[in-house]
Structure 1
Amino acid sequence: MDEKTLVTLEFPKVLERLAAYAAFSISAEMARALRPTSDLEEALKRQARTSEARRLLSINVDFSVGGARDIRALVDLARRAGVLEGSDLLDVKNTLTAARNMARTFERHAAECPHLAEVALGLPPPSGIIDIITQSISDRGDVLDSASDRLSTIRRELKISYERLMSRLERMLNDPNVSPMLQEGIITQRNGRYVLPLRAEFKGRVRSIIHDQSASGATLFVEPLVTVELNNKLHEMQLAERDEVRRILADISAQIGRQAREIEIVLGALAEMDLALMCAKYADDLRASEPVLNASKPRRDHPGTTLRLFQARHPLLDAKKVVSIDVDLNEQTFAVVITGPNTGGKTVTLKTVGLLALMAQSGLHIPAQSGSALSIFADIFADIGDEQSIEQSLSTFSGHITNIVRILGLAGPGTLVLLDELGAGTDPQEGAALARALLSDLVQKRVPCLVATHYPELKSFAHSTPGVVNASMEFDLQTLRPTYHLTLGLPGRSNALLIAERLGLPERVLLEARGQLNPEDLRTEDLLDEIHQQRDLARQARTAAEKSRGDAERLRSELQQQREQIEDERLKILEKTRREAEKEVEALRREMDDLRRQLNRARQPLEALKPLQRKLTDLEDSVQKPVERQTVVTETVSSRQPLRIGEKVRLRALQMDGVVTAVSESDVEVQLGALRLRTRLSDIQRSGDTPPAPPSPTAGRGAPRPPAAPSSGRVPTPPLPSPGMELDLRGQRAEDALEMLQTYIDNAYMTGMPFVRIIHGKGTGRLRQVVREALQASSYVARFETGQESEGGDGVTVAHMKED
């Protein structure tokens, strides 16, 4: 990519923001060195890595390369026979441990993250290094006794020597003949020897060697002759310990040096993995989406490029204030002429398009709506800003022309050209002619381009030239401020006279100015003004309609919720009434039985009881008659704003939260932890939406399901909660397991779950056989299959429920 253009479009600033998410310096350097690729496969691979990293972070927000350090200098030192300190070895160990942990993570996520799993192949660290550092170095960086048998022996002898020396000195401290001659009753050190503080006036009274004296000369630090050998032995052991520690550190460093190349591969894989996580975190903060990348398909009259950006935002501007733009070029258009007022957003529009193209080809998700599509450009050229150069004695115009000459020599159908204020900085008439000639040359060469200009001649050129379209940056004449909205298909209006009139320019001057204008130009401006006014009215009407629709949707949702609450209350009242009626019917039945027994004992005919028995039976039937829950149409996602990839949703049937990974017209793919499933749009709701009441136990998939004929006369119970996606039967007896399985399958079917997992373990296979025989006989199960290896293999059976 053209380095000058990267700077012009402020791409390095984007990379600096990306680098701020780095976990260690290698990935930060890699981020700053990131460059767009012109290879479609490479760009798609980078985008896939970012998408996979976003999915991983949505499952585990703490997923990272934590503990990794930039140990390249340490590894290089070890390669050159240098000796690493204990703290350095801990950095090596922690970095390799982070790589090992991440490699193990991707053993579980390889299927769902194939591109990151490919990077993870370089993560497993060389064998032996982590273990030997763990065995030899403590968490504080000290060499452990277990590092070698010799070190253990030396330290044991060192401890004995120290204790003997201290014991001898402490006896002298407590000796009544010696202690009065000491300045303090302490043992201290001088020149690596343990000494006593002797008062200067008692010099020679204790047979000793003087090692030092205090600044005042009142204290002499002496080593008693009786402790000289003990001090010598201690010092000897200390030197032996130092040498052995040095040897151990050198051995470990040598092993690291021998495997330096393998460690560098691990560091590279860690940095690539962290870069993918950085891209994912940056995309989440930008509320970005993965762009659709296409290869150019040149035609005779068109370069075959794609440029469709919806709700695009400049990534370096405040997301709360920046105005999004739509740039949607149809299959016949590849050049855009943007006109509008100064400070109206033309330059930001050019930079937004160019910067988003650079980000897309670098593997970064772009701050635009899902579905935005771009071609892979072989190069991107931009002439934006002041090209004045004092050193080269170039004026602004000369600087622009010098850059444009370079661009014209390099641009082709597979490149994107962005030109700001084309032809500016010179005589207006000559500048307009030059601008039109330059644009004509680009169009003839079929170079995709966006051009910002003030020249009206380019408006007419764009209107009459195939492949070119006008666009305008809107301006609010009431507030005299730009709106920063881009409108394709309409050229910008020349608002100079209107603005001058609003700012108080005398009417006579305005009339004189209008008299100097070409009448045809005035008619054109009036027509443009009317078109813009009608468009503004249409936009206002659409905004009002959308607001009304939103209010209606909100009211409908509230009404649906109220209806659900009313229905729940109705069922509770009916349940209470039914229970009371059952008690009364039961009391009547007991009285009838008592009366029948009395008549039998009195040997009286029972014919008189038959009418009463019929009435009692009718009463029982009326009490047992089921009351079906009234269907309440619930709001679905499909009736609202479209879902976006990466959006968090909730599956009503499973009562679980997930992340959208793919969307089509009628269904959606959702990631639930390690599980990915596809379901209907009507079966999910956005996270944060008021959840509708769960389906009645008399309900099927989205509609009321009539209950089986009641045998007890009870009213259907309130809605059942989800029984969960798994049933663990391990350790259960066959009879108990079948009872638990039957209840679980009934509840799963009643709550509308698409499938469930039954964990029975492998063992002898008896429990698995019993479970599968029960599933085979169940009227609620459509089919079942052995679980995948990641789910437990033969120890798990996945049962798919029947649909109504």
Structure 2
Amino acid sequence: MIQEETLELLEWHRLCQHLSTFAATKLGAIAAEYMKLPETQEESSQLLAQTEEVYDLEQRLNTALSFEGITDIGDALERSDLGGVLSGKELLSIATTLAGVRRLRRLIEEQEKIPVLKTLVANVRTYPEIEQEIHRCIEEDGEVSDRASPRLREIRGQMKVVRERIYRKLQDIMQRQSGAMQESVITQRGDRFVLPVKAPQKDQVPGIIHDSSSTGATLYIEPSSVVELGNQLRQYHRSEQIEEETILRGLSAKVAEVKEDLEDLLAAATILDLAVARSRYSWWLKGNPPRFIEPHEHITLRQLRHPLLIWQQQHEQGPEVVPINVQVDPKIRVVAITGPNTGGKTVTLKTVGLAALMAKAGIFIPAKVPVELPWFEQILADIGDEQSLQQSLSTFSGHIRRIIRIIEALNPTSEAPTTASSSLVLLDEVGAGTDPAEGSALATSLLKYLAEAAGLTIATTHYGELKALKYQDERFENASVEFNDQTLSPTYRLLWGIPGRSNALTIAGRLGLRPDIIEDARTRVGGFSEDINRVIAGLEQQRREQEEKAKEATQLLKQTERFYAEVSQKANALQQREKDLKQQQEQEIQKAIIAAKAEIAQVIRQLQQGTPTAQNAQKATEALGKIAEKQLPKQKQPVKIYRPQVGEKVRIPSLGQTAEVLNILEESEEVSVRFGIMKMTVPFRDIESLDGKKVEVPEKAKTAPPANPSPPPAPKSSPVIRTSYNTVDIRGSRVVEAESDVEKAIARATESGVLWIIHGKGTGKLRQGVHEFLERHPQVKRFELAPQNEGGAGVTVAYLT
């Protein structure tokens, strides 16, 4: 059959073998290796949809679909349906297959945008009750479990008792007759327990001899005292076998009842695994999904690579695969490819043929997007020689016989074709193997016939007459494989619209054939042929120049796109940064407003609680002034000198340490710092910023003492206003963490002169730790528990210097 011959010629079976290596199960591998091609475009579209959904699903999940536990249970199902008893391992395989398919179905049902796969598993029944029953009755090693039935548990219990009695008796005999023993061990021959007895001392251990060693020096004897027990054990063993068979038969019957559903389940798992194999093979090929086009659309296969050559390159260290471009106008019915031998014409035919077969089978094609080609009802090929000494067939005869079968497949009625069928015909060296004049004429007639009968015909040829068909019939197109005149080697690139020129004389001259012979041959070819060759050479040169310009334009476009992307990214980053800064400023303003409102409310409450006097009003005015001064944004002055800030990290070069600033003592030009668990006070000159800046200490202006120093003001009797800036809440903190928070709060509340520390009552450990810290702190004059209305024992008030 010509279709099967075509598959052999295109090496489709090799591709299927490669595909099978990507299957997850044995069933999937077999289905891939013997994959049948769909008969309708709808079937092919369905397969492509399955492949695409699996491809997208595994990319989205970032993991492979698992077929763990799924095995080929087809034979077991057939035998159960015929009333056979399945073994424990076969039943376990059924149980694991049910579980594996259930996991796959659940995963697919949880996903979105995979309607074809969901339809595939929608009606699959996995019978969890049968799976559970099998696991209840069968152990992991395939043996029947004691749980399977009370009768079996009872029998095995009795067997254990008898076996222990046998062991005790045999051990007693070994101790009493130790001198007669070849070695102190109890062994078995068949299902009988025996002792290895030295042959000369066999009378010391009366019983049944079941076996002997190869030398005859050792006899394996079952002592008479345990023969009856051995008989009992054998009876129990037979009863155990009968009960196990009953259990296995019952499980096999349950499987047989749902055989059809389990066959459907197995078929769905195989279809899914085959789709997974197609998806993973497509990913490995770096393929893209094809689109089946209508007759009025262009065939587009750009950068198409031969899949078998890709495999050879990856797995067999083959040469790099040279891609080809196949772009055919809708009106074209015949493409004539010309060029030198070993130039890649035959590989081109096979590449196009395999691409069409892969599309039909639902496999992505190794070509760049878009991948567009028709759905070919038949793919028919005549590639290579078909010589046969037995049949007395020449190369020409072999070609003609195969072409006859192709024509019969295209037109079974043997009448003149009225409409072209949706078939792809691939002909290698059409008309070769006979007289050139007759072969050229036959090839021309054949291609004209195929232009009417087939959807697309691609033929390779050496005949110059076929190159001229393009200019006589718009349904014909020329293509050629490129040849490098300098290296005398093909480039394997396919050039469209340009016929191949004859390279025979050029090659012969470069290889060293006498120039006079070459010139004589040129005169015999004729000037017209030389003119054609020069025209073709000029066209090839123009094409190369255009391709170079196209490459330069492509590179320039890529650079422009990259620059545009960089500029857009930077602009977006600046816009985002500006947006973030604005949002941050708005948040800070809102925080300041909330804090100011709270502090103002506190001042108002204190005024309302006290006696309305001028002094109180003055204090409230001063407090509000401080709030305004603190919360209103201040105009930033340019920083003249470096000054450390509280909470900032600084470096102490003399100690080789990085420390955190806890407090700044401007009067003594010192800072209080902490590194690790150490706290210390160091002069300004001993610290520097993390980027190496030294602290610049301004010179102090000398001031004359006042003539009439005024006495120090009397201590204020009025309470300091409590705000969020002179209050710190350390409840729930550990003592070490609380010390850090209190230190920062002291630095913040220096102006107010008092700090409220909320530590809560609890166990009192936190309060005790805070008091010990305040006792040794240089800025704390004294501290006490707050009044009852301010928190009592849960709050400590510290008065600062």
1:140 is aligned with what amino acid?
D
The aligned residue for residue 37 of structure 1 is 38
Post-superposition offset of 1:206: 5.3
Residue by residue, what CA displacement relative to the aligned partner does 1:263-305 show, whole Å, maximum 9, x if unpaired? 2222222111111111111101111111111354xxxxxxx57
1:381 is aligned with what amino acid?
L
Contact 2:121 2:268 in 1 (8 A): yes
Which of these residues, 318, 322, 325, is aligned with residue 310 of structure 2? 318
CA distance, structure 2, for counterparts of residue 382 and residue 214 of structure 1: 71
Contact 2:381 2:427 in 1 (8 A): yes
CA distance, structure 2, for counterparts of residue 101 and residue 76 of structure 1: 25
Contact 2:180 2:202 in 1 (8 A): no
CA distance, structure 2, for counterparts of residue 267 and residue 315 of structure 1: 30
The aligned residue for residue 420 of structure 1 is 428
Contact 2:125 2:262 in 1 (8 A): no
Post-superposition offset of 1:459: 1.2
The aligned residue for residue 535 of structure 1 is 543
The aligned residue for residue 78 of structure 1 is 80
1:237 equivalenced with 2:236 (yes/no): yes
Alpha carbons of 1:275 and 1:569: their partners in 2 closer, same or farther (altered >3 Å)? closer
2:361 is aligned with what amino acid?
S
Contact 1:2 1:381 in 2 (8 A): yes
1:471 equivalenced with 2:505 (yes/no): no
Alpha carbons of 1:527 and 1:214: their partners in 2 closer, same or farther (altered >3 Å)? closer
Contact 1:380 1:416 in 2 (8 A): yes
The aligned residue for residue 10 of structure 2 is 9
CA distance, structure 1, for counterparts of residue 255 and residue 409 of structure 2: 49
The aligned residue for residue 783 of structure 1 is none
Alpha carbons of 1:140 and 1:573: their partners in 2 closer, same or farther (altered >3 Å)? same
Residue by residue, what CA displacement relative to the aligned partner does 1:396-416 show, whole Å, maximum 9, x if unpaired? 111112222232333261212
Post-superposition offset of 1:203: 4.7
Deviates more, 1:341-350 or 1:281-290: 341-350
Task: Answer with 1 or 2: which has the greater Rg.
Answer: 2
1:516 is aligned with what amino acid?
R
CA distance, structure 1, for counterparts of residue 321 and residue 265 of structure 2: 41
The aligned residue for residue 284 of structure 1 is 283
Q: What secondary structure, in the 3-state scheme, does the structure 2 residue paired with 1:150 have?
A: helix
Q: What secondary structure, in the 3-state scheme, does the structure 2 residue paired with 1:371 have?
A: strand
Alpha carbons of 1:479 and 1:571: their partners in 2 closer, same or farther (altered >3 Å)? farther
1:492 equivalenced with 2:500 (yes/no): yes
Post-superposition offset of 1:465: 0.7
Larger RCO, structure (CA 8 Å, separation 6 or more): 1
CA distance, structure 2, for counterparts of residue 159 and residue 327 of structure 1: 78
Deviates more, 1:562-571 or 1:142-151: 562-571
Alpha carbons of 1:154 and 1:540: their partners in 2 closer, same or farther (altered >3 Å)? same
How many residue pairs are counted as aligned between the two chains? 603
1:139 equivalenced with 2:140 (yes/no): yes
2:371 is aligned with what amino acid?
S
CA distance, structure 1, for counterparts of residue 495 and residue 434 of structure 2: 28
CA distance, structure 2, for counterparts of residue 475 and residue 306 of structure 1: 27
CA distance, structure 2, for counterparts of residue 237 and residue 100 of structure 1: 40
Alpha carbons of 1:374 and 1:178: their partners in 2 closer, same or farther (altered >3 Å)? same
TM-score computed with the length of structure 1 as normaliser? 0.67
Residue by residue, what CA displacement relative to the aligned partner does 1:212-262 show, whole Å, maximum 9, x if unpaired? 455555555444444333333222222221221222223222333343333
Post-superposition offset of 1:147: 0.9
CA distance, structure 2, for counterparts of residue 507 and residue 351 of structure 1: 39
Alignment of structure 1 residues 752-763 onto 2, 5 Å: none
Contact 1:411 1:417 in 2 (8 A): no
Q: What secondary structure, in the 3-state scheme, does the structure 2 residue paired with 1:21 have?
A: coil
Q: What secondary structure, in the 3-state scheme, does the structure 1 residue paired with 2:369 have?
A: coil
1:149 equivalenced with 2:150 (yes/no): yes
1:434 equivalenced with 2:435 (yes/no): no
Post-superposition offset of 1:143: 0.8
Alignment of structure 1 residues 261-280 onto 2, 5 Å: 261-280=260-279
2:300 is aligned with what amino acid?
R
2:521 is aligned with what amino acid?
A
Q: What secondary structure, in the 3-state scheme, does the structure 2 residue paired with 1:6 have?
A: helix
Post-superposition offset of 1:36: 2.7
The aligned residue for residue 130 of structure 1 is 131
1:46 equivalenced with 2:47 (yes/no): yes
Contact 1:36 1:359 in 2 (8 A): no
Contact 1:40 1:295 in 2 (8 A): no
The aligned residue for residue 459 of structure 2 is 451
Residue by residue, what CA displacement relative to the aligned partner does 1:409-441 show, whole Å, maximum 9, x if unpaired? 332612121111111111222221221121122
Alignment of structure 1 residues 156-235 onto 2, 5 Å: 156-174=157-175, 178-200=177-199, 202-205=201-204, 208-214=207-213, 218-235=217-234
Identify unmatched segments of 5+ residues in structure 1.
297-303, 581-589, 591-599, 605-611, 625-804
CA distance, structure 1, for counterparts of residue 630 and residue 204 of structure 2: 123
1:327 equivalenced with 2:326 (yes/no): yes
Identify unmatched segments of 5+ residues in structure 2.
314-319, 412-419, 589-598, 600-613, 619-624, 638-801
Q: What secondary structure, in the 3-state scheme, does the structure 2 residue paired with 1:531 have?
A: helix
CA distance, structure 2, for counterparts of residue 201 and residue 404 of structure 1: 88
Q: What secondary structure, in the 3-state scheme, does the structure 1 residue paired with 2:307 have?
A: coil
Alignment of structure 1 residues 712-791 onto 2, 5 Å: none
CA distance, structure 2, for counterparts of residue 280 and residue 190 of structure 1: 56
1:20 is aligned with what amino acid?
T
Aligned-pair Cα RMSD in Å:
4.1
Alpha carbons of 1:334 and 1:201: their partners in 2 closer, same or farther (altered >3 Å)? closer
The aligned residue for residue 728 of structure 2 is none
CA distance, structure 2, for counterparts of residue 198 and residue 575 of structure 1: 97
Alignment of structure 1 residues 111-122 onto 2, 5 Å: 111-121=112-122
Post-superposition offset of 1:108: 1.9
1:620 equivalenced with 2:633 (yes/no): yes
Post-superposition offset of 1:28: 2.5
Residue by residue, what CA displacement relative to the aligned partner does 1:731-787 show, whole Å, maximum 9, x if unpaired? xxxxxxxxxxxxxxxxxxxxxxxxxxxxxxxxxxxxxxxxxxxxxxxxxxxxxxxxx
2:293 is aligned with what amino acid?
N
Alpha carbons of 1:569 and 1:506: their partners in 2 closer, same or farther (altered >3 Å)? farther
Post-superposition offset of 1:308: 2.2
The aligned residue for residue 337 of structure 2 is 338
Q: What secondary structure, in the 3-state scheme, does the structure 1 residue paired with 2:289 have?
A: coil
Residue by residue, what CA displacement relative to the aligned partner does 1:497-523 show, whole Å, maximum 9, x if unpaired? 333333344443333233233333333
2:247 is aligned with what amino acid?
I
Alpha carbons of 1:214 and 1:5: their partners in 2 closer, same or farther (altered >3 Å)? closer
Identity within the alignment, %: 38
Alpha carbons of 1:452 and 1:190: their partners in 2 closer, same or farther (altered >3 Å)? closer
The aligned residue for residue 89 of structure 2 is 87
The aligned residue for residue 249 of structure 1 is 248
Which of these residues, 78, 102, 105, is aligned with residue 103 of structure 1? 105
The aligned residue for residue 360 of structure 1 is 359
TM-score computed with the length of structure 2 as normaliser? 0.67
Post-superposition offset of 1:29: 2.7
1:547 equivalenced with 2:559 (yes/no): no
Post-superposition offset of 1:96: 2.4
The aligned residue for residue 410 of structure 2 is 411
Q: What secondary structure, in the 3-state scheme, does the structure 1 residue paired with 2:308 have?
A: coil
Alpha carbons of 1:381 and 1:226: their partners in 2 closer, same or farther (altered >3 Å)? closer
The aligned residue for residue 779 of structure 2 is none
CA distance, structure 1, for counterparts of residue 236 and residue 148 of structure 2: 17
Deviates more, 1:377-386 or 1:215-224: 215-224
Post-superposition offset of 1:183: 4.2
CA distance, structure 2, for counterparts of residue 363 and residue 571 of structure 1: 50
CA distance, structure 2, for counterparts of residue 443 and residue 410 of structure 1: 15
2:160 is aligned with what amino acid?
K
